[in-house]
Amino acid sequence: MSKLFEPISLGGLTLPNRIVIAPMCQYSSDEGKATSWHHAHLGQLSFSGAGLLILEATAVEAAGRISAQDLGLWDDETEAALKGLVDGLRENSNIPLGLQLGHAGRKASHAAPWKGGAQIPQSAGGWQTVAPSALPFAEGTEAPVALSAERISELKKAYVDSVRRADRLGFDLLELHGAHGYLLHQFLSPLSNQRTDQYGGSLENRMRLLLEIFQEIRAAFPADKPIGVRISATDWVEGGWDLEQSVELAKALDKLGCSYIHVSSGGLSQHQKITVGPNYQVPFADSIKQHVKMPVIAVGLITEPEQAEAIVGTGQADMIALARGILYNPRWPWHAAAKLGAKVYAPKQYWRSEPHSVKGLFLPE
């Protein structure tokens, strides 16, 4: 029996297998509103047979978008557009749906990757960015404004408001984005956080905002619905956020009832030095798993079914997440199930595609 295709429970939500589609920014929204691209893109992924589909990083306020084309959930218009998307997905697929909530902080106001990805200054149509400290992400770019205590309170409210909207929309799960150099990661790392108040300095202080926001959104979302957190386990820069600190954060989240932790890395500094290869982030997930009760998701260059099976089967992580790999092959879970002798959910309209060599591959939704 394949461990990868065993069910797993996150709070009151049971996933049919341990394959997660990670959040992937599409830079294709209209002033925060989902568009026809999202219907097409997420529609095909909803037929993938994965255990969970998490929508891309969704900004809790307009200033928190990475680009002007980022998805958002901060007002009635963005909520209405997302409702049309969710309703369309639900009509055709039973895949559990998650939403990642985030704020880009000093990495906001950037162009889409295919337009170079550079920061757009205010003089060219960009906007003022914010951060824990007035330190720019890259040399030669506009500095962010350090968040005041008042703005931090407003930010917490924005997260809670977005959570309530997400619940109305019927999302099964939420993920708090604390990774990849965005705002909550900026508070965690001493490279970007040089505050002298209760949100800066010691590890306890640098973790404070993420933990406070987690508690507030946990209280605002139904208790039976899971909320997880995505982190970067290391900045890959000496003197920055690292695995030891990530373990302490994970232990603190575990005590607060976090449903899972999704372990990535990097994104905070242009000085990062990453040696990329298959499973290159899995040891971080494995190390964190030794210290927490909650499930752990591993992600990063996991491309082969046998590779994913080994990660879960040996207990290095409880789930694996796919991003670029499932964009390249949106039926990856089907192929993995066929190779591992497992079964996978597929829409009835596609049952005829079942290969002769793997009869009984598809389960009815």
Give residue-wise pLDDT tens across range 152-185: 999 999 999 999 999 999 999 999 999 999 999 9
Alpha helices in 126-196 (DSSP H): 149-169, 183-188
Q: What is the mean pLDDT of the chain?
A: 97
Angle between helix 149-169 and helix 203-220 axes, rounded to 10 deg: 40
* Residue 264 · residue 230 · CB < 8 Å: yes
Measured CA to CA in angstroms, residue 134 lies from 89, 106, 119, 352 at distances of: 41, 9, 16, 58
Tell me the HSE value of 342 on the side-chain side, using a 13 A CA sphere: 26
pLDDT at 365 (0 to 100) = 78
Tell me the average pLDDT across 114-138. Answer: 97
pLDDT at 73 (0 to 100) = 98
Give residue-wise pLDDT tens across range 65-90: 999 999 999 999 999 999 999 999 99
Cα 257 from Cα 342, distance rounded (Å): 32
* Residue 225 · residue 247 · CB < 8 Å: no
Say yes or no to pLDDT of 364 above 90: no
Q: Which amino acid would we find at residue 36?
A: S
Q: Which of 352, 86, 7, 54 is nearest to 226 (CA)?
A: 54
Say yes or no to pLDDT of 41 above 90: yes
Residue length of the chain: 365
Q: What is the dihedral of CA 27, 31, 37, 39, to 10 degrees?
A: 120
pLDDT at 61 (0 to 100) = 98
Tell me the average pLDDT across 99-124. Answer: 97
* Residue 54 · residue 173 · CB < 8 Å: yes
The percent of residues in the chain predicted with pLDDT above 90, rounded, is 98
Tell me whether residue 182 is one of the annotated catalytic residues. Answer: yes
Alpha carbon 23 to chain centroid distance?
Answer: 5
pTM (global) more than 0.85 = yes
Domains in the chain (CATH in brackets) are: 3-350 (3.20.20.70)
Alpha carbon 143 to chain centroid distance?
Answer: 26
Tell me the average pLDDT across 198-210. Answer: 98
Give residue-wise pLDDT tens across range 252-294: 999 999 999 999 999 999 999 998 999 999 999 999 999 999 9
Cα 274 from Cα 236, distance rounded (Å): 6
Query: Which residue among the candidates 27, 182, 260, 345 is catalytic per the annotation?
Result: 182
Paired sense of beta strands 13-15 and 8-10, if any: antiparallel
Give the list of residues 6+ apart from residue 157 with CB closer than 8 angstroms, or none: none
Say yes or no to pLDDT of 340 above 90: yes
